[in-house]
Structure 1
Amino acid sequence: MRLSALILFLLFSISGKSQSSYSGHVGTSPVTLVMHHYSDGVSQAYYVYDKYDSPITINGNLKDGELTLFEKDKDGNTSATLVFEKFEENNREINGEWISADATRTYKIKLQKDFDISYGDNAERKTKELIQSNSTKEHYFKTVITKEKTGADARVSGVKVFEKGTDKLIQAIKLDCQLLAIDNVSVGDYNFDGIEDFSVFEASYAGPNTSSIYILRDPDSGKYLKSNFNGTSLEFDNDSKLIYEHNQCCAGKGHINATYKVVNNEMVLIERKCLVYDDKKEDFVETACK
């Protein structure tokens, strides 16, 4: 199975002014919820029970003032629905209901907005920490989001690693990354040693090209260390234990594909192929890589 570093570019079609973080309760259980809404009504969200610190994805839609979010089980079936009536993005308090799929259990939801993460020139010059939707078995993550000066975009200036269950801060890592619409952290085994690592989205470039920073967990110390892994739109194949790179340019008429293996936590090139589109042949042809 491949672990893809390619980010869905719909995330960059940002219509809403921000993503928002809320805290409150589902029933009597304390939770944190993060959400972002798009102009077509699609809503991306996740929430975390403070007791367990394991994020739950609850994507859905916002239509005519009613926000509906769907919680899925491991097979992709809806296990619960979260409904918020009379919802508006600028509300400081939102109320709703958690309803199990068979409707035998319902819990009231009451949340207060803690902050918005805004984009562009309107972003506040204030550091915020945003819990992420991906976690390992032992740890969850918060990105540190800062805006240094007027006119600059807010950026991810670091990531904090917390222990699940105790909320103990395990590690803080300094970074300088582009702020993604809702989630910057992914989890995977990037050096194929059987230990969960994590990555932070770094930047988007021309076309579909992206980069991420890959942070590996050291099996001896248990600490996370920034790796030297680098490349464009990397994909990690745990079956073959290979890394695939794809770099596209020239409005899709040029492609560079490379394959790497991992040796002593370093990417070692196996092969690289370059393709260009031949207008006469109306197909891609292999060419010498520059």
Structure 2
Amino acid sequence: MRIKLNILLALLLFTITVKSQSSYSGYLGKSPITLVMYHYSDGVSLAYYAYNNYDNPITINGKLKNGELCLFEKDKNGNNIATLVFENFDDKKEEIKGTWIKSDKSKTYQISLHKDFEIYYGDNLEWTGYELLQSKSTKQHYFKTIINKEKDNFYARIAGIKIFEKKTDKLIQTIELDCQLFGIDNVSVGDYNFDGIEDFSVFEGSYAGPNTSSIYILRVPNSNQYLKSNFSGISLAFDNDSKLIYEHNQCCAGRSHMNATYKVVNNEMILIEKKCLEYNDEKEDFIETKCE
């Protein structure tokens, strides 16, 4: 039954494809905003926007159905506080108009946006230097990934990231990267070296099964600068309570697992423990094996 379910999920994911990925700029009422949208063929739309005067990205996921795009703005408890409605929406249009509606309908604002760029895929396409606002930010900084598309490569890639100061829009730093473009959520924020200061990471790549990797970029204390760390591993998880890093690498349809635990010393990952498990058909259970 589990095998059949996995096959069904794989077929479902295969049939649901990305329809478009676009960045817009314009106005919500009288306030300048930037809005990023990522549409799937089944109508699911992932999106976020930011008021340019504040630069705090706001997630507004929703649904495109029968030509009407509805995006929902929620508070930290998941309650709907506003809806952004775009009637007769067409992702091919260069100009789109909509309405921001407060949940109690006490306030409405008109939205007018122009498409800055759209990310397409294909071997014959080529472009450089698209700057895509990211959905995650720190208290002081927001981020834009630099996206390039080379000819004869079907997918675009992240060539770097720009770090900006909120409210002033001052460019703080540019860091070169080479990462897989993973939808619109390529940046995460966290305290990766457990020093009490917000750092950020950039999704690097996906591999067999659930395995992924990221580039971890640490904030230099008492500075506006960031440093690309040497942290590396598969599917790292950071525990701020224990101040430990956990790695989990699995392969062979889940028959093989590697689990490792690290501590952080002088911004380096130090291995504490490593265990490897292999599924044994005779025992019908996992047994510990020697790690290579």
Aligned residues: 282
- CA contact under 8 A between 1:43 and 1:61: conserved in structure 2? yes
1:283–1:120 CA distance, 2 compared to 1 (3 A): farther
Contact 2:27/2:33 (CA < 8 Å) preserved in 1?
A: yes
Q: What secondary structure does 2:195 align onto?
A: coil
Which of 136, 139, 146 is equivalent to 1:137?
139
| Paired residues for 1:89-238 under 5 Å | 89-121=91-123, 123-238=125-240
Structure 1 residues 80, 122: closer, same or farther in 2, change over 3 A?
farther
CA RMSD of aligned residues (A): 1.8
Secondary structure at the counterpart of residue 126 of structure 1: strand
Residues 44-80 of structure 1 deviation map (CA, whole Å, 9 limit, x = unaligned): 0000100100000000111111111111101111111
Which structure is richer in relative contact order (CA contacts within 8 A, separation 6 or more)?
1
Q: Is contact 1:95–1:111 with CA below 8 Å preserved after alignment?
A: yes
SS in structure 1 at match of 2:119: strand
Measured after TM superposition, the shift of residue 32 of structure 1 is 0.4
- Which structure 1 segments of 5+ residues have no match? 1-8
The alpha-carbon distance between structure 1 residues 60 and 11, as it changes in their structure 2 partners (threshold 3 A), is farther
User: 1:153: Cα distance to partner?
Assistant: 2.8
Counterparts of residues 258-269 of structure 1 (less than 5 Å): 258-269=260-271
**Deviation digits for residues 114-138 of structure 1 (CA, Å, limit 9, x no counterpart):** 1001234254323211110000000
Whether the 8 Å CA contact 1:160–1:171 is kept in 2: the answer is yes
Residue of 269, 287, 290 corresponding to 1:288: 290
Q: Aligned residue for 2:48?
A: 46
Cα offset for 1:149?
Answer: 3.2
Partner of 2:3: none
TM norm structure 1? 0.93
Paired letter, 1:32? T
Aligned 8 A contact 2:255 2:279 in 1: yes
Do the aligned residues in 2 keep the contact of 1:11 with 1:182 (CA within 8 Å)?
A: no
> Residue 257 in 1 paired to residue 259 in 2?
yes
Partner Cα separation in structure 2 for residue 267 and residue 259 of structure 1: 9
TM-score (norm 2): 0.92
Q: Give the deviation of 1:151 after TM superposition.
A: 3.3
Q: Structure 2 CA distance, aligned partners of 1:237 and 1:11? A: 31
Percentage of pairs with the same residue: 72
Q: 1:236 to 1:39 in 2, by over 3 A?
A: same
Q: Distance in 2 between matches of 1:252 and 1:20?
A: 36
| Residue in 2 that maps onto 1:6 | none
1:121 alignment partner, SS class:
coil
Q: Give 5+ residue unaligned stretches, structure 2.
A: 1-9
Do the aligned residues in 2 keep the contact of 1:12 with 1:181 (CA within 8 Å)?
Answer: no
Q: Name the SS for the 2:253 alignment partner.
A: helix
